[in-house]
Amino acid sequence: MGEGKQRVLGLVALWGIVMGGLGSASCYGRNCEGDTLVYGRVQDEGQLIDPDTWQSTPVDGDWVPFNKQRIVFFEMRELGDRLPINITPYISAERTPNRDGNWTIGSGNLAEQSGAGPGRIAIKNNTCADYYIRVVVTASPRPPTTAPADAAAPTDDASTSDADAGD
């Protein structure tokens, strides 16, 4: 075997070792399978900050586990039949980031949003890393409830009719 062939075989072998090492640490095979979580059905899972804004957890509380490939279905019954107009997912590597670490706004594969509907949203961690998530959702304000203008000033037609009847 010539020196050129040995060099090529050596490079191919080295490439195979490097790629094999990279493949074992990434999302190949079954090492990065996800699951689903429904959050918001149990009391104290989420609350209103104001009449139009819902949060999954307080900023200084324990955040929701957001494991690799997990889809979290957030149910926000407190927002009723209104559609979300602003969804902000916050991501951290720490369960209590306000005490133990820091956080950032989740985007891209880290916080893929889908299925927004009245009182619900789905967010997927489409990576192979485990995090924690806090979600803040704003819905459009409910229209004010006002009585019709003619109902605001009741008239007493019977009293005027009786007065006119005596003339």
pLDDT in 10s for each residue of the chain, 167 residues: 677 677 666 666 666 665 555 444 455 667 788 999 999 999 999 999 999 999 999 999 999 999 999 999 999 999 999 999 999 999 999 999 999 789 999 999 999 999 999 999 999 999 999 999 999 999 999 888 876 565 555 555 555 555 555 55
Q: All domains of the chain, ordered by start, with CATH? A: 31-139 (2.60.40)
Angle ∠(167,153,143) on CA atoms, nearest 5? 160
Q: CB neighbours (10 Å) of residue 111?
A: 23
Amino acid, single-letter form, for residue 164: D
Best CA proximity match to 125, nearest among 101, 105, 108? 108
Instruction: Kindly compute the dihedral angle of the four CA atoms of residues 116, 82, 50, 121, in this order, to the nearest 10 degrees.
Output: -10
